[in-house]
């Protein structure tokens, strides 16, 4: 499987480029088309081989007792109807780790093998290291083979495609005795800490040929740059006009606007946002850009404008408005109105003064005092909002993208779930159950890559990760945690050996209830179990954490009342502000109390045994 060292160097022949192309093609054919002396495998043999391959790569959920084409969806494993042999294996972004075992050469009818890690916000990256096994040469029928984004090393040709980012570096170190993996051919190591490689400054002996190659490269680069410039001018030409909504005035016909929702004109929204000024832009969500708007009466709103690339039709957008108008809960961001002038798609929501949970914990507002009981209150509030979407909404709504940046906070730090129910391209408006992922890395249900389907349990998984962020103050994905860049992987061993003190946010110091934070951690881990059948529901979350919040709020109110009473009896001018509380009244103090208006069921004893997650 190794590539001859002469490949990639100048070839002293007249038709150099053709010779190089032929040589590379020959190497590819030799590597992929050599047929080994292997006896034909049966479907049972292939099932056993697949189990071995996946378990070697740390995927332990498949057993050979079940035929692979029955266990996996067709997008993952495809079998020949006649022989039952595997013809396609799409194992991309499944979180596979380790060395590819020789059993991969068992699938003699295999035509497609995809082990890639796509550069996207979705999924669990594969981290497969090399060298590739020689048994790949047994795959005589293989027509498509892709390993992009993995970390192959040694003399393997695929080492040229190893991106060597921080994640890749850590995996390479693990499988190379904590040392850097070798650089690809014609490259050298210029950073031994991060294991970064750079091309050698090769000086060719033949000046004419070097000049010719340079000239060709320069011409091609200039041509590509010209094409990109033309595309950019064509793509972004509408942005030079003052009116960002250059669309036709089309009459889409009358429709019944749902009660409680206001229809705004485009002129009203333009005025509220200073003609869609960039200074009013406050974010970018799954629906499009978000603007801060202020109406003439002083009312502040958040205005979400569909992106230019959205292909959702007007009828689908109107159905969306009808659906959103039915969703009313204290812990859901309220829809105020909409605008569909000129066929546009604009939603108007209540404005949340304190931004989102991500900024509060780890972003631009990091360091703000968020006591433990307020974190518990936020956790319960989000759980109430999700439970409403899952069990009370008609039709039920699967959020699909729960994360701290979609949890907004009002002036009293009351948490409200945002971006729920917003249709993306080709959504099912009737059921709101998506077969296309809309999640974010670190929060996306790992079972999606097995079942290719998102459910309410997917929201529960994401909620569990958010709950861990509330407890630890850390982000779900952080490459500075080296091999434990995933927050769940970081929490589990520390919680097991050191208890909640080993994981709790250092910003809390010693000022937190250990029993409550311990129980919150157990709930978070129960929500974020790999298999959805092992996860608890949002209603069970409320049954566990709801009573804790009620007790915490009552104790907190009593504590503050006692402090006020104690301060008011001191002969100190600094305590005069509290004199009005001498009668024992705390009515002016803003003490957060639990929301008992939730539609969720009352607290009952859950059947889930939390003790299995307790640290020993």
Instruction: Give per-residue pLDDT as tens, 373-408.
Output: 999 999 999 999 999 999 998 888 999 999 999 999
Helix axes 456-472, 538-568, angle to 10 degrees: 30
Q: Contact 295/310 with Cβ under 8 angstroms?
A: no
Residue 306 lies in a domain: no
Q: What is the CA radius of gyration of the chain?
A: 29
Token pair in block for residue 292 = 């801060």
425-436 per-position pLDDT tens digit: 333 333 333 334
pLDDT at 610: 41
- The pair phi, psi for residue 350, each rounded to 5°, is -60, 150
- The CATH code of the domain that includes 195 is 3.80.10.10
Is residue 336, in this structure, part of any structural domain at all?
no
Q: Is residue 497 part of a domain?
A: yes
The values of phi and psi at residue 339, to 5°, are -145, 130
pLDDT for the residue numbered 301: 96
Residues paired with residue 289 on neighbouring β-strands, in sequence order: 284, 305
> Across residues 24-30, what is the average pLDDT?
42
Q: Which one is predicted more confidently, 134 or 250?
A: 134
Residue 410 banded pLDDT, cuts 50, 70, 90: very high
399 located within any domain: yes
- Transcribe 8-69 into DSSP letters: TS---STTHHHHHHHHHHHHHHHHHHPPPS-PPPPHHHHHHHHHHHHHHTT--S--TTS-HH
Q: What pLDDT is attached to residue 482?
A: 72
**What mean pLDDT is predicted for residues 32-39?**
38
212: domain range?
207-235
Confidence of residue 344 (pLDDT cuts 50, 70, 90): confident
Using a cut of 0.75, tell me whether the model's pTM lies above it: no
Q: With 90 as the cut, is the pLDDT of residue 470 above it?
A: yes
Q: Is 56 exposed, middle or buried (0-12, 13-18, 19+ CB in 10 A)?
A: middle
Q: What is the pLDDT of residue 320?
A: 86
pLDDT at 518 exceeding the cut of 90: yes
As a whole number, mean pLDDT of residues 151-176 equals: 43
* Contact (CB, 8 A) for 272 and 295: yes
345 lies in some domain: no
| Same-domain check for residues 178 and 216 | no
The neighbouring-strand residues paired with 356 are: 408
**Bridge-partner residues for 77, per DSSP?**
89
* Least confident span in 209-213, 256-260, 358-362, 608-612: 608-612
* Bridge partners, residue 99, by sequence: 129
| Claim to verify: residue 56 and residue 167 sit in the same structural domain | yes
pLDDT for the residue numbered 224: 79
Instruction: Identify the CATH number of the domain in which residue 483 sits.
Output: 1.10.510.10
Distance CA 305, CA 267 (A): 14
pLDDT of residue 256: 84
Listed range (184-198, 248-262, 284-298, 521-535) with the worst mean pLDDT? 184-198
What mean pLDDT is predicted for residues 162-174?
A: 40
Shared domain for 38 and 149, answered yes or no, is yes
Same domain, 160 and 216: no
pLDDT attached to residue 260 = 87
Q: Please tell me whether residues 83 and 156 are part of one structural domain.
A: yes
Q: Is the pLDDT of residue 300 over 90?
A: yes
**486 and 596 belong to one structural domain:** yes
Is residue 13 very low, low, confident or very high in pLDDT (cuts 50, 70, 90)? very low
Domain shared by 615 and 492, yes or no: yes
Judged against a pLDDT cut of 50, whether residue 570 lies above it is answered with: no
Contacts of 62 (CB under 8 A, 6+ apart): 50, 51, 54, 68, 71, 72
Decide which of 235, 255, 281 is a domain's last residue: 235
Whether residue 192 sits in one domain with residue 60: yes
Residues 453 and 584 in one domain: yes
Cβ contacts of 294 within 8 Å, gap of 6 or more: 272, 300, 301
Q: In terms of domains, do 85 and 225 share one?
A: no
Query: Does pLDDT of 159 surpass 70?
Result: no
Find the length of the chain.
Answer: 616
Q: Is residue 304 part of a domain?
A: no
Question: Is residue 611 a part of any domain in this protein?
Answer: yes
Residue 37 has pLDDT above 50, yes or no: no
> Cis omega (within 30 of 0) on the bond before 131?
yes
Q: Which helix (H) or strand (E) holds 158?
A: none
Domain tally for the chain? 3
Hey, which residues are catalytic here?
401
Two structure tokens written together for 397: 């709504």
40 domain-assigned? yes
Residues 34 and 165 in one domain: yes
Q: Encoding tokens for residue 146?
A: 């892709």
The answer to whether the beta carbons of residues 485 and 478 sit under 8 Å apart is yes
218: DSSP letter: H
304 is known to lie in a ligand binding site: yes
pLDDT at 66: 85
Q: What is the biggest distance separating any 2 CA atoms in the chain, rounded to whole angstroms?
A: 101
In terms of domains, do 485 and 599 share one?
A: yes
Per-residue model confidence (pLDDT) at position 438: 59
CA distances 338 to 69, 271, 406, 407, Å, are 46, 15, 20, 21
What pLDDT was estimated at residue 435? 37
* Mean pLDDT of the residues in the chain: 73
């Amino acid at each position: 499987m190794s590539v001859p060292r002469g490949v990639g160097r100048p070839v002293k022949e007249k038709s150099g480029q053709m010779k190089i192309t032929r040589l590379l093609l020959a190497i590819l054919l030799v590597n992929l088309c050599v047929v080994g002396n292997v006896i034909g495998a049966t479907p049972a043999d292939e099932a056993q081989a697949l189990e071995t391959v996946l378990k070697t790569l740390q995927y332990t959920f498949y057993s050979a007792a079940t035929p692979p084409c029955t266990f996996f969806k067709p997008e993952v494993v495809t079998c020949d109807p006649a022989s039952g042999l595997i013809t396609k294996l799409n194992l991309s972004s499944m979180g596979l780790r380790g060395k590819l075992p020789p059993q991969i050469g068992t699938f003699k009818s295999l035509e497609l093998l995809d082990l890639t890690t796509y550069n996207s916000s979705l999924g669990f990256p594969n981290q497969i290291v090399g060298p590739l096994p020689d048994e790949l040469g047994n795959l005589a029928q293989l027509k498509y083979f892709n390993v992009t984004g993995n970390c192959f090393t040694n003399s393997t040709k695929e080492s040229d495609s190893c991106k060597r980012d921080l994640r890749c570096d850590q995996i390479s170190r693990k499988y190379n005795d904590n040392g850097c993996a070798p650089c690809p051919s014609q490259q050298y190591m210029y950073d031994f800490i991060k294991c970064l490689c750079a091309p050698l400054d090769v000086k060719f002996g033949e000046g004419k040929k070097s000049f010719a190659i340079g000239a060709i490269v320069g011409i091609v680069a200039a041509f590509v740059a010209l094409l990109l410039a033309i595309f950019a001018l064509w793509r972004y030409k509408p942005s030079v006009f003052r009116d960002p909504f250059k669309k036709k005035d089309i009459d889409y016909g009358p429709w019944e606007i749902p009660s409680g929702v206001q229809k705004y004109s485009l002129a009203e929204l333009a005025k509220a946002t200073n003609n869609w000024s960039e200074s009013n832009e406050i974010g970018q969500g799954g629906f499009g850009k978000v603007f801060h708007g202020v109406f003439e009466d002083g009312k502040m709103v958040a205005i979400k404008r569909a992106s230019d690339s959205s292909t959702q039709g007007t009828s689908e957008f109107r159905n969306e408005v009808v659906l959103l108008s039915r969703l009313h809960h204290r812990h859901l961001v309220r829809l105020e109105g909409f605008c569909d002038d000129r066929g546009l798609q604009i939603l108007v929501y209540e404005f949340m003064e304190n931004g989102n949970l991500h900024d509060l914990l780890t972003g631009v507002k990091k360091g703000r005092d968020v006591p433990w009981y307020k974190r518990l209150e936020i956790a319960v509030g989000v759980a109430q909002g999700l439970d409403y979407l899952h069990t009370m909404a008609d039709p039920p709504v699967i959020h699909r993208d729960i994360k701290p940046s979609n949890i907004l906070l009002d002036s009293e730090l009351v948490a409200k779930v945002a971006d729920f129910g917003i249709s993306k391209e080709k959504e099912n408006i009737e059921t709101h159950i998506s077969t296309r992922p809309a999640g974010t890395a670190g929060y996306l249900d790992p079972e999606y890559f097995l079942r290719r389907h998102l459910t309410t349990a997917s929201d529960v998984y994401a909620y569990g990760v958010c709950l861990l962020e509330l407890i630890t103050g850390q982000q779900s994905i952080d490459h500075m945690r080296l091999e434990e860049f995933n927050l769940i992987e970081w929490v589990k061993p520390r919680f097991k050996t050191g208890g909640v003190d080993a994981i709790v946010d250092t910003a809390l110091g010693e000022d937190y209830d250990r029993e409550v934070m311990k129980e919150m951690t157990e709930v978070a881990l129960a929500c974020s179990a790999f298999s959805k059948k092992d996860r608890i529901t949002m209603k069970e979350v409320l049954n566990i954490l709801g009573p804790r919040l009620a007790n915490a709020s009552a104790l907190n109110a009593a504590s503050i009342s006692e402090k006020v009473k104690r301060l008011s009896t001191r002969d100190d001018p600094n305590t005069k502000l509290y004199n009005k509380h001498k009668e024992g009244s705390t009515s002016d103090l803003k003490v957060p109390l639990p929301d008992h208006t939730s539609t969720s069921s009352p607290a009952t004893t859950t059947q889930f045994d939390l003790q299995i997650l307790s640290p020993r």
